[in-house]
A = this chain, B = another copy of it.
Amino acid sequence: MRKERLEDIGEKELIFRLGKFMPKNQTSDDCALIKTKDENLLVNNDSLVENVHFNESTICAQDLGWKAVISNISDLLSSGSKKTIGITISLILPTKTEWIWVEELYKGINKALKKYGGIILGGDCSSGKEKIISITALGIQGELELQRNACKPGDIILTTGIHGLSKLGFMLQSKLNLDNDVSLSENLKSKSIEHFCRPKVYPNFLKNLLKTCSNKKIRRIGCTDSSDGLFQALQDLAIASNCKAIINYEKVPKDKDWPKGDKWDEYYFFGGEDYELVFSLPKKWAKKLCKIDKSINEIGYFAKGEASIEFSDNNKNKLLKNTPFKHF
Protein backbone atom coordinates (compact mmCIF):
# COMPACT_ATOMS: atom_id res chain seq x y z
CA MET A 1 0.00 0.00 0.00
CA ARG A 2 1.25 3.49 -0.87
CA LYS A 3 2.29 5.42 2.21
CA GLU A 4 0.51 8.66 3.07
CA ARG A 5 2.13 11.67 1.42
CA LEU A 6 2.00 15.39 2.22
CA GLU A 7 -0.10 15.97 -0.92
CA ASP A 8 -2.73 13.62 0.58
CA ILE A 9 -2.89 15.52 3.86
CA GLY A 10 -3.56 19.14 2.86
CA GLU A 11 -2.14 22.31 4.36
CA LYS A 12 -4.45 22.74 7.38
CA GLU A 13 -4.08 19.15 8.57
CA LEU A 14 -0.31 19.35 8.04
CA ILE A 15 -0.04 22.47 10.21
CA PHE A 16 -2.21 20.77 12.85
CA ARG A 17 0.03 17.69 12.86
CA LEU A 18 3.25 19.73 13.04
CA GLY A 19 1.76 21.60 16.01
CA LYS A 20 1.56 18.27 17.86
CA PHE A 21 5.37 18.12 17.93
CA MET A 22 5.54 21.38 19.85
CA PRO A 23 5.37 21.76 23.62
CA LYS A 24 1.80 22.26 24.89
CA ASN A 25 2.40 25.82 26.12
CA GLN A 26 3.23 27.08 22.62
CA THR A 27 0.31 28.79 20.88
CA SER A 28 -1.01 28.59 17.34
CA ASP A 29 0.45 32.02 16.56
CA ASP A 30 2.94 32.81 13.85
CA CYS A 31 5.40 34.16 16.41
CA ALA A 32 6.91 32.22 19.27
CA LEU A 33 7.16 33.99 22.62
CA ILE A 34 10.44 33.73 24.51
CA LYS A 35 10.39 34.74 28.14
CA THR A 36 13.64 36.25 29.37
CA LYS A 37 14.34 37.75 32.80
CA ASP A 38 13.61 41.28 31.70
CA GLU A 39 11.85 41.61 28.37
CA ASN A 40 9.95 39.00 26.43
CA LEU A 41 11.01 38.39 22.86
CA LEU A 42 9.05 37.40 19.80
CA VAL A 43 10.63 35.26 17.11
CA ASN A 44 9.15 34.61 13.71
CA ASN A 45 10.26 32.69 10.64
CA ASP A 46 8.87 33.07 7.15
CA SER A 47 10.14 31.46 3.96
CA LEU A 48 9.43 32.53 0.41
CA VAL A 49 9.85 29.74 -2.16
CA GLU A 50 10.22 30.37 -5.89
CA ASN A 51 7.22 29.19 -7.91
CA VAL A 52 5.21 28.75 -4.69
CA HIS A 53 5.27 32.26 -3.19
CA PHE A 54 6.88 34.21 -6.02
CA ASN A 55 8.28 33.99 -9.51
CA GLU A 56 10.63 36.18 -11.48
CA SER A 57 8.03 37.44 -13.93
CA THR A 58 5.79 38.97 -11.23
CA ILE A 59 8.27 40.52 -8.80
CA CYS A 60 11.79 41.93 -9.09
CA ALA A 61 14.57 41.09 -6.63
CA GLN A 62 14.45 44.42 -4.79
CA ASP A 63 10.69 44.21 -4.23
CA LEU A 64 11.07 40.58 -3.15
CA GLY A 65 13.66 41.58 -0.52
CA TRP A 66 11.34 44.30 0.76
CA LYS A 67 8.40 41.89 0.89
CA ALA A 68 10.35 39.13 2.67
CA VAL A 69 11.11 41.60 5.47
CA ILE A 70 7.56 42.98 5.56
CA SER A 71 5.98 39.53 5.86
CA ASN A 72 8.10 38.91 8.98
CA ILE A 73 7.60 42.36 10.52
CA SER A 74 3.86 42.00 9.92
CA ASP A 75 3.87 38.77 11.94
CA LEU A 76 5.83 40.48 14.73
CA LEU A 77 3.44 43.47 14.80
CA SER A 78 0.39 41.22 14.83
CA SER A 79 1.83 39.57 17.97
CA GLY A 80 2.40 42.89 19.73
CA SER A 81 6.07 43.57 18.99
CA LYS A 82 7.04 47.10 20.02
CA LYS A 83 10.42 47.02 18.28
CA THR A 84 12.11 44.85 15.65
CA ILE A 85 15.58 43.84 16.88
CA GLY A 86 16.75 42.38 13.61
CA ILE A 87 16.66 39.50 11.15
CA THR A 88 18.79 36.59 10.04
CA ILE A 89 18.65 35.71 6.36
CA SER A 90 19.06 32.22 5.00
CA LEU A 91 19.31 32.12 1.21
CA ILE A 92 19.15 29.05 -1.00
CA LEU A 93 20.05 30.02 -4.57
CA PRO A 94 20.82 28.14 -7.79
CA THR A 95 24.48 28.60 -8.76
CA LYS A 96 23.41 30.25 -12.02
CA THR A 97 21.78 33.12 -10.06
CA GLU A 98 23.30 36.44 -11.08
CA TRP A 99 25.15 38.39 -8.37
CA ILE A 100 23.23 41.54 -9.27
CA TRP A 101 20.02 39.72 -8.27
CA VAL A 102 21.45 39.13 -4.77
CA GLU A 103 22.55 42.77 -4.53
CA GLU A 104 19.07 43.96 -5.49
CA LEU A 105 17.46 41.57 -3.00
CA TYR A 106 19.60 42.98 -0.18
CA LYS A 107 18.84 46.53 -1.33
CA GLY A 108 15.14 45.80 -0.84
CA ILE A 109 15.82 44.10 2.51
CA ASN A 110 17.81 47.08 3.78
CA LYS A 111 15.23 49.61 2.55
CA ALA A 112 12.48 47.85 4.52
CA LEU A 113 14.69 47.64 7.63
CA LYS A 114 15.57 51.31 7.30
CA LYS A 115 11.88 52.23 7.15
CA TYR A 116 10.56 49.94 9.89
CA GLY A 117 13.61 49.34 12.10
CA GLY A 118 15.88 46.36 12.75
CA ILE A 119 19.26 45.30 11.42
CA ILE A 120 20.69 42.27 9.61
CA LEU A 121 22.04 40.07 12.41
CA GLY A 122 23.51 37.35 10.24
CA GLY A 123 22.84 34.97 7.42
CA ASP A 124 24.09 32.18 5.26
CA CYS A 125 23.77 31.03 1.68
CA SER A 126 23.66 27.58 0.11
CA SER A 127 23.08 26.33 -3.40
CA GLY A 128 19.81 24.66 -4.33
CA LYS A 129 17.53 24.02 -7.29
CA GLU A 130 15.19 26.95 -6.64
CA LYS A 131 15.43 30.30 -4.91
CA ILE A 132 14.35 30.38 -1.26
CA ILE A 133 14.52 33.35 1.08
CA SER A 134 14.03 32.30 4.68
CA ILE A 135 14.02 35.11 7.22
CA THR A 136 13.92 34.84 10.99
CA ALA A 137 12.92 38.07 12.71
CA LEU A 138 13.25 38.98 16.38
CA GLY A 139 11.18 41.60 18.14
CA ILE A 140 10.55 42.85 21.65
CA GLN A 141 7.13 42.10 23.11
CA GLY A 142 5.27 45.29 24.01
CA GLU A 143 2.81 45.85 26.86
CA LEU A 144 -0.03 44.04 25.14
CA GLU A 145 0.12 40.41 24.05
CA LEU A 146 -1.61 40.05 20.69
CA GLN A 147 -2.61 36.46 20.06
CA ARG A 148 -5.03 34.53 17.89
CA ASN A 149 -6.74 32.88 20.83
CA ALA A 150 -7.68 36.07 22.73
CA CYS A 151 -10.89 37.09 20.88
CA LYS A 152 -14.06 37.11 23.01
CA PRO A 153 -17.77 36.91 22.17
CA GLY A 154 -19.05 40.49 22.09
CA ASP A 155 -15.75 41.86 20.73
CA ILE A 156 -15.88 44.08 17.65
CA ILE A 157 -13.89 42.76 14.66
CA LEU A 158 -11.66 45.35 13.01
CA THR A 159 -9.14 45.47 10.18
CA THR A 160 -6.54 47.95 9.06
CA GLY A 161 -6.54 49.08 5.43
CA ILE A 162 -8.21 47.54 2.40
CA HIS A 163 -7.99 43.95 1.20
CA GLY A 164 -7.76 42.41 -2.27
CA LEU A 165 -5.35 44.95 -3.74
CA SER A 166 -2.32 42.67 -3.48
CA LYS A 167 -4.16 39.88 -5.29
CA LEU A 168 -5.16 42.25 -8.09
CA GLY A 169 -1.56 43.51 -8.24
CA PHE A 170 -0.36 39.92 -8.59
CA MET A 171 -2.81 39.24 -11.40
CA LEU A 172 -1.79 42.41 -13.24
CA GLN A 173 1.90 41.52 -12.87
CA SER A 174 1.20 37.94 -14.04
CA LYS A 175 -0.78 39.29 -17.03
CA LEU A 176 -3.56 36.88 -16.04
CA ASN A 177 -6.94 37.27 -17.70
CA LEU A 178 -9.07 39.60 -15.64
CA ASP A 179 -12.80 40.08 -15.82
CA ASN A 180 -13.34 41.37 -19.37
CA ASP A 181 -16.56 43.14 -18.48
CA VAL A 182 -14.92 45.69 -16.23
CA SER A 183 -12.42 48.40 -17.01
CA LEU A 184 -10.12 49.12 -14.11
CA SER A 185 -9.10 52.68 -13.25
CA GLU A 186 -5.40 53.50 -13.68
CA ASN A 187 -5.37 54.59 -10.05
CA LEU A 188 -6.61 51.18 -8.85
CA LYS A 189 -4.13 49.39 -11.10
CA SER A 190 -1.07 51.27 -9.87
CA LYS A 191 -2.24 51.11 -6.23
CA SER A 192 -2.69 47.34 -6.53
CA ILE A 193 0.75 46.74 -8.04
CA GLU A 194 2.22 48.89 -5.25
CA HIS A 195 0.38 46.80 -2.65
CA PHE A 196 1.64 43.57 -4.20
CA CYS A 197 5.27 44.63 -4.72
CA ARG A 198 5.80 47.03 -1.81
CA PRO A 199 3.31 46.20 0.94
CA LYS A 200 3.31 48.39 4.04
CA VAL A 201 2.80 47.63 7.70
CA TYR A 202 1.50 49.61 10.68
CA PRO A 203 4.31 50.41 13.11
CA ASN A 204 2.05 52.76 15.16
CA PHE A 205 -0.65 50.16 15.67
CA LEU A 206 0.48 49.10 19.15
CA LYS A 207 0.95 52.71 20.29
CA ASN A 208 -2.58 53.63 19.18
CA LEU A 209 -3.99 50.54 20.87
CA LEU A 210 -2.38 51.55 24.15
CA LYS A 211 -3.42 55.19 23.77
CA THR A 212 -7.11 54.28 23.40
CA CYS A 213 -7.24 51.57 26.07
CA SER A 214 -9.44 52.53 29.01
CA ASN A 215 -9.36 49.19 30.83
CA LYS A 216 -5.74 48.60 31.83
CA LYS A 217 -6.61 45.12 33.09
CA ILE A 218 -6.86 43.81 29.52
CA ARG A 219 -3.38 42.59 28.57
CA ARG A 220 -4.34 40.23 25.75
CA ILE A 221 -5.95 41.13 22.41
CA GLY A 222 -7.10 38.76 19.66
CA CYS A 223 -5.07 39.56 16.54
CA THR A 224 -3.42 38.11 13.44
CA ASP A 225 -2.38 39.42 10.03
CA SER A 226 -4.04 38.74 6.69
CA SER A 227 -0.98 37.41 4.87
CA ASP A 228 -3.02 34.34 3.85
CA GLY A 229 -6.18 36.35 3.10
CA LEU A 230 -8.88 38.06 5.17
CA PHE A 231 -10.99 34.91 5.43
CA GLN A 232 -8.09 32.80 6.57
CA ALA A 233 -7.28 35.40 9.23
CA LEU A 234 -10.89 35.43 10.48
CA GLN A 235 -10.97 31.64 10.48
CA ASP A 236 -7.70 31.42 12.42
CA LEU A 237 -9.05 33.84 15.05
CA ALA A 238 -12.41 32.04 15.28
CA ILE A 239 -10.81 28.60 15.66
CA ALA A 240 -8.09 29.64 18.12
CA SER A 241 -10.59 31.67 20.23
CA ASN A 242 -13.46 29.21 19.76
CA CYS A 243 -16.15 31.70 18.78
CA LYS A 244 -18.16 32.75 15.74
CA ALA A 245 -17.20 35.70 13.52
CA ILE A 246 -20.24 37.60 12.17
CA ILE A 247 -19.20 39.83 9.26
CA ASN A 248 -21.23 42.79 8.05
CA TYR A 249 -20.55 42.77 4.29
CA GLU A 250 -21.66 46.40 3.87
CA LYS A 251 -19.10 47.60 6.40
CA VAL A 252 -16.11 45.88 4.78
CA PRO A 253 -14.09 48.76 3.28
CA LYS A 254 -13.24 48.55 -0.40
CA ASP A 255 -11.25 50.74 -2.71
CA LYS A 256 -13.58 53.31 -4.33
CA ASP A 257 -12.76 51.89 -7.79
CA TRP A 258 -13.07 48.21 -6.74
CA PRO A 259 -15.46 46.45 -9.18
CA LYS A 260 -18.63 44.67 -8.01
CA GLY A 261 -19.34 40.98 -8.50
CA ASP A 262 -18.68 37.54 -7.00
CA LYS A 263 -15.27 37.20 -8.61
CA TRP A 264 -14.16 40.50 -7.09
CA ASP A 265 -15.51 39.48 -3.71
CA GLU A 266 -13.45 36.30 -3.99
CA TYR A 267 -10.30 38.30 -4.76
CA TYR A 268 -11.10 40.54 -1.81
CA PHE A 269 -11.69 37.89 0.85
CA PHE A 270 -9.30 35.14 -0.30
CA GLY A 271 -6.56 37.16 -2.01
CA GLY A 272 -3.81 37.09 0.60
CA GLU A 273 -0.49 38.92 0.96
CA ASP A 274 -2.24 42.08 2.15
CA TYR A 275 -0.41 42.16 5.51
CA GLU A 276 -3.30 44.01 7.14
CA LEU A 277 -4.08 43.46 10.82
CA VAL A 278 -7.29 41.61 11.69
CA PHE A 279 -8.21 41.89 15.38
CA SER A 280 -10.97 42.24 17.92
CA LEU A 281 -11.61 44.70 20.77
CA PRO A 282 -14.32 45.51 23.32
CA LYS A 283 -16.82 47.96 21.80
CA LYS A 284 -15.70 51.16 23.59
CA TRP A 285 -12.06 50.58 22.80
CA ALA A 286 -12.89 49.81 19.15
CA LYS A 287 -14.81 53.09 18.75
CA LYS A 288 -12.01 55.15 20.30
CA LEU A 289 -9.36 53.47 18.14
CA CYS A 290 -11.31 54.03 14.90
CA LYS A 291 -11.57 57.71 15.82
CA ILE A 292 -7.82 58.30 16.08
CA ASP A 293 -6.73 55.90 13.31
CA LYS A 294 -8.66 56.38 10.07
CA SER A 295 -7.01 53.32 8.45
CA ILE A 296 -8.98 51.07 10.85
CA ASN A 297 -12.54 49.88 10.19
CA GLU A 298 -15.11 47.86 12.08
CA ILE A 299 -16.30 44.91 9.93
CA GLY A 300 -18.32 42.76 12.34
CA TYR A 301 -18.28 41.12 15.76
CA PHE A 302 -17.59 37.85 17.56
CA ALA A 303 -20.46 35.85 19.03
CA LYS A 304 -20.77 32.69 21.12
CA GLY A 305 -21.10 29.60 18.97
CA GLU A 306 -19.24 27.13 16.81
CA ALA A 307 -15.85 28.38 15.57
CA SER A 308 -16.89 29.66 12.13
CA ILE A 309 -17.55 32.68 9.92
CA GLU A 310 -20.97 33.98 8.90
CA PHE A 311 -22.22 37.03 7.05
CA SER A 312 -25.00 38.96 8.76
CA ASP A 313 -26.53 39.25 5.25
CA ASN A 314 -27.39 35.60 4.53
CA ASN A 315 -27.12 36.16 0.74
CA LYS A 316 -23.41 36.60 1.07
CA ASN A 317 -22.74 33.24 2.73
CA LYS A 318 -22.24 31.54 -0.64
CA LEU A 319 -18.87 33.31 -0.69
CA LEU A 320 -17.69 31.03 2.10
CA LYS A 321 -17.69 27.98 -0.14
CA ASN A 322 -14.51 29.14 -1.83
CA THR A 323 -11.24 27.55 -0.87
CA PRO A 324 -8.38 29.77 0.17
CA PHE A 325 -5.01 29.72 -1.56
CA LYS A 326 -2.88 26.72 -0.62
CA HIS A 327 0.88 26.72 -0.13
CA PHE A 328 0.86 22.91 -0.18
Contact surface of A with B, Cβ cutoff 8 Å: 3-9, 14-15, 17-18, 21-23, 26, 29-32, 34, 36-39, 41, 43-47, 49, 52-53, 85-86, 88, 90, 92-100, 102, 106, 109-110, 119-130, 132, 134, 136, 138, 327-328
A34: B residues at CB distance < 8 A: 85-86, 121, 138
Chain B residue, CB-CB nearest to A95: B7
In the complex where A98-B4, A121-B26, A138-B34 touch, is A127 in contact with B43 (Cβ < 8 A)? no
Cβ A47 vs Cβ B121 within 8 A: no
Cβ A45 vs Cβ B122 within 8 A: yes
Cβ B39 vs Cβ A102 within 8 A: no
Chain B's nearest CB lies how many Å from the CB of A221? 20
In the complex where A38-B38, A52-B128 touch, is A93 in contact with B6 (Cβ < 8 A)? yes
Chain B's nearest CB lies how many Å from the CB of A10? 10
A41: B residues at CB distance < 8 A: 36, 41
Report which of B18, B43, B126 forms a contact with A52, defined as CB distance below 8 A. B126
- Alpha-carbon separation in the docked complex, A265 to B17 (Å): 46
Assembly of this chain: how many copies? 2
Chain B's nearest CB lies how many Å from the CB of A57? 18
Chain B's nearest CB lies how many Å from the CB of A13? 10
Cβ A88 vs Cβ B328 within 8 A: no
A106: B residues at CB distance < 8 A: 18, 21
Cβ B100 vs Cβ A49 within 8 A: no
Cβ A130 vs Cβ B128 within 8 A: yes
In the complex where A36-B36, A122-B31 touch, is A90 in contact with B134 (Cβ < 8 A)? yes
* 11 further A-B pairs in the complex, CB-CB below 8 A; given A6-B127, A43-B138, A45-B88: A4-B98, A6-B96, A14-B125, A21-B106, A36-B41, A37-B39, A43-B122, A45-B124, A49-B126, A126-B327, A129-B130
A95: B residues at CB distance < 8 A: 5-7, 328
A92: B residues at CB distance < 8 A: 47, 49, 132
Cβ A136 vs Cβ B45 within 8 A: yes
- Alpha-carbon separation in the docked complex, A38 to B127 (Å): 38
A9: B residues at CB distance < 8 A: 99
Chain B residue, CB-CB nearest to A35: B85
- Alpha-carbon separation in the docked complex, A39 to B41 (Å): 12
In the complex where A32-B121, A37-B39, A95-B6 touch, is A126 in contact with B90 (Cβ < 8 A)? no
**The 5 nearest A-B residue pairs measured at CB:** A32-B121, A7-B95, A38-B38, A32-B122, A136-B136
